[in-house]
Amino acid sequence: MNYFSSNFKLGILGGGQLGKMLLNDTRKFDIYTCVLDSSNEAPCKIASNEFHLGDLMNYDAVYNFGKQVDILTIEIENVNVDALEALEKEGIKVYPASKTLRTIQNKATQKSFYVANNLPTAPFSRFTYTSEINEAINQGDLTLPFVWKSAQFGYDGTGVKIVKTLEDLEGLPNVECIAETLVPFKNELAVIVVRNASGDTKTFPVVEMEFHPEANQVEYVICPARIPDDVAKKATEVALKTSEAFNHVGLLAVEMFQTQNDDVLINEVAPRPHNSGHQSIEASYTSQFEQHLRAILDLPLGRTDSKVGGVMVNLVGAEGYTGNVVYENIETIMEMDGVTPHIYGKQQTRPFRKMGHVTIVNENLNEARRIAEEVKKSIKVISE
């Protein structure tokens, strides 16, 4: 099929920053794009060929949108899977497949999938309601501490809580959830696997992620991870096995824990471009966004190795500021070596909202990490 400068239409569900960065590459290839999002202010609005307003969880909105395109992809998991299933039956190609999304959308189902497919993950218990947890603790079926995770609609630290005492359970929503053994890990790692419809597969280098202690959000992504080769090999093998189990087409970001004795356990996956791959725009031969396009269009995959060491810093809304966004000291960071800011185009900031990221590239990874710290201290995302 001719995708370039043709009548071919690529549909993207979700109009956020991941979609916006994907559109940089559809523009590069002159691929016609249609985007569906519920917000008129969505970052994708200015860069897509067609922008459609609609609720991603609404069956009719997703189904009717999907009928107008040739291939459908996502930049967010929370979409109506029943509509995707109907579209697949009618011959529309949907990547990732509805079956994969159905499994991933629910954390309890996702964890059960790892167990069924012999993929390493932390032990867990599944509960229909949070209120059942107290009884499980009283009966000795569950011991403190553990990580409480809402089964659905959690993202960027919401829907997750470390439970050390019974009081920590108070105020949690009474929803379907899991209680996961608290893993004392050395590192949080991620591997992005890319696979096209023909089954060709490549992996990006293992990255290491440093998290904000309160917000449970990634603050820094460091590529390549500063870990022994055997651990990197193990993480890559687990990621490849996970992609294979899903029979995935497109990008699959596999987030993992490196335990104290250097085992690798899957935390969770994202079947789309991901925060842990943003540095690939500047640091890799082929960015994660271009790779996602190559994969879903069944084109040859690009090189995944890095040209240079890369560190990514998330720009999130500062605490205490809500309203029209102002980026303070952006000129200061642009004076630093190898620094590239990416601004997502969200007009409104609020505490911890992802507003952009900054990539730092350097031949010396430790120097890149040092500059990243300076960037973090200098730039402020505040409001008028």
Q: Is residue 115 part of a domain?
A: no
Both 277 and 369 in a single domain? yes
Ligand-binding site membership of 247 (annotated): no
Query: Among positive and negative, which fits the CA dihedral 251, 237, 148, 177?
Result: positive
Both tokens of 28, joined, read: 């590069």
What own/partner pairs with CB < 8 Å and gap ≥ 24 does 6-9 have? 6/32, 7/32, 8/32, 8/70, 8/71, 9/33, 9/34, 9/68, 9/69, 9/70
Q: Is residue 118 part of a domain?
A: no
Q: Measured between alpha carbons, how far is 335 from 323 in angstroms, rounded to an integer? A: 28
Q: Is the pTM of this model over 0.75?
A: yes
Ligand-binding site membership of 335 (annotated): no
Q: Average of pLDDT values for 27-56?
A: 97
Among 181, 206, 231, the domain-final residue is 181
How many domains is the chain built from? 3
Q: CA Rg, the chain, in Å?
A: 21
The CATH number of residue 272's host domain is 3.30.470.20
Q: Is residue 105 part of a domain?
A: no
Q: What percent of the chain has pLDDT over 90?
A: 94
| pLDDT for residue 282 | 98
Chain-centre distance for alpha carbon 378: 26
Query: Among positive and negative, which fits the CA dihedral 268, 160, 112, 19?
Result: negative
Least reliable range by pLDDT among 41-55, 215-229, 278-292, 314-328: 215-229
- Closest alpha carbon to 152 in 133, 173, 167: 173
Q: Average of pLDDT values for 138-150?
A: 93
| pLDDT for residue 156 | 61
Domain extent for 242: 185-383
Measured CA to CA in angstroms, residue 344 lies from 46, 278, 356 at distances of 12, 12, 5
Rounded to 5°, the CA angle 4-296-80 comes to 115
Average pLDDT, the chain: 95
| pLDDT for residue 212 | 77
Say if residue 157's pLDDT is above 70: no
Measured CA to CA in angstroms, residue 269 lies from 192, 254, 273 at distances of 10, 5, 11
| pLDDT for residue 96 | 97
Q: Measured between alpha carbons, how far is 238 from 249 in angstroms, rounded to an integer? A: 17
Q: What is the DSSP string of 9-28?
A: EEEEE--SHHHHHHHHHHHH
Among 78, 94, 110, the domain-final residue is 94
Q: Measured between alpha carbons, how far is 239 from 270 in angstroms, rounded to an integer? A: 12
Both 288 and 160 in a single domain? no
Q: Average of pLDDT values for 50-63?
A: 98
Both 192 and 167 in a single domain? no
Reported as a single tens digit per residue, the pLDDT across 306-330 is 999 999 999 999 999 999 999 999 9
The β-bridge relationship of strands 185-195 and 250-259 is antiparallel
Say if residue 246's pLDDT is above 70: yes
- The two most distant CA atoms of the chain are separated, in Å, by 64
Q: Average of pLDDT values for 88-97?
A: 98
For the CA atoms of 69, 74, 80, 82, the dihedral, rounded to the nearest 10 degrees, stands at 60
| pLDDT for residue 148 | 95
Both 215 and 339 in a single domain? yes
Say if residue 247's pLDDT is above 70: yes
| pLDDT for residue 6 | 97
Reported as a single tens digit per residue, the pLDDT across 197-215 is 999 999 999 999 998 777 6
For residue 378, name the pLDDT band (cuts at 50, 70, 90). very high
| pLDDT for residue 199 | 95
Both 173 and 199 in a single domain? no
| pLDDT for residue 213 | 73
Q: Is residue 101 part of a domain?
A: no
Say if residue 126's pLDDT is above 80: yes
Both 196 and 250 in a single domain? yes
Say if residue 218's pLDDT is above 90: no
| pLDDT for residue 153 | 77
The CATH number of residue 152's host domain is 3.30.1490.20
Ligand-binding site membership of 183 (annotated): yes
| pLDDT for residue 76 | 96
Q: Measured between alpha carbons, how far is 118 from 100 in angstroms, rounded to an integer? A: 17
Say if residue 176's pLDDT is above 90: yes
Both 197 and 169 in a single domain? no
Among 94, 112, 138, the domain-final residue is 94
Q: Phi-psi category of 250—alpha, beta or left, where left has phi over 0 and alpha has psi -120 to 50? A: left
Say if residue 186's pLDDT is above 90: yes
Both 158 and 88 in a single domain? no
The CATH number of residue 34's host domain is 3.40.50.20
Ligand-binding site membership of 233 (annotated): no
Both 316 and 269 in a single domain? yes
What own/partner pairs with CB < 8 Å and gap ≥ 24 does 70-73 have? 70/1, 70/8, 70/9, 70/10, 70/11, 71/8, 71/10, 71/11, 71/95, 71/296, 71/297, 72/11, 72/12, 72/13, 73/10, 73/11, 73/12, 73/13, 73/250, 73/272, 73/292, 73/296
Q: Average of pLDDT values for 120-143?
A: 94
Both 203 and 313 in a single domain? yes
Residue 247 DSSP class: T
Q: Average of pLDDT values for 250-254?
A: 98
Both 224 and 353 in a single domain? yes
Both tokens of 348, joined, read: 């409104």
CB under 8 Å to 167, separation ≥6 — which residues?
Answer: none
| pLDDT for residue 1 | 85
Both 37 and 166 in a single domain? no
Say if residue 10's pLDDT is above 80: yes
Q: Average of pLDDT values for 274-298?
A: 98
Ligand-binding site membership of 188 (annotated): yes
